[in-house]
Amino acid sequence: MLIAMDPGTEKFGWAVSGDAGDLILSGVSPIGDIDEWTKAVLRGDTGFLEERAVERSAVPYSFSFPGFVIAGSGTGSSECIGRLVSSGLRVEKVPESFSTLRGRDLYWRIHPPRGFRRLVPKGLLIPPRDVDDLAAWSLILDYICSKKEVSCNKVRGGIGGIQDA
């Protein structure tokens, strides 16, 4: 299991995936909830995470804390990472360049456009919700690829089992 956070100044996106990168849960939370979120992650409180999830897998899963959180090192990250570390979490910082754009792409792969929107290039479409959680998921996918644990094409290609929260 892997957990990632895409930190921001007002909110943060988070994602939980399996070891192969399959998305289990993801959500967007206000920055004021970061300490409570951190405590929930440390104690393995899936109920807390499920209540706040925007996306969730239809596939059953078991939660086990991996011992660290992957965190983007971009805008707003210093304060967020500091709070994670002071709470006892180990943090693996990763570059988050273009993570929001990758999050948008993941959104449209999970929720393909319908009707006339199918005719508009996906790069021109704006998702109807914040995609910080999917940006966090993209950090997980990049982390897995950087560790060369599985084929990057397989990781970036598989999004099965995801459903709306």
Q: Kindly report the average pLDDT of the chain as a whole number.
A: 86
CB atoms within 10 A of CB 45: 15
Backbone angles phi and psi of 9, in degrees to 5: -90, -30
* pLDDT tens digits along 38-79: 999 998 888 999 999 999 988 777 777 888 999 999 876 888
SS (H, E, C) 79-98: HHHHHHHHCCCCEEEECCCC
Q: Which domains does the chain have, with CATH numbers?
A: 2-164 (3.30.420.110)
Residue 26 is predicted with a pLDDT of: 96
Is residue 9 packed enough to be buried (19+ CB in 10 Å), middle (13-18) or exposed (0-12)?
Answer: exposed
pLDDT, greater one: 21 or 58? 21
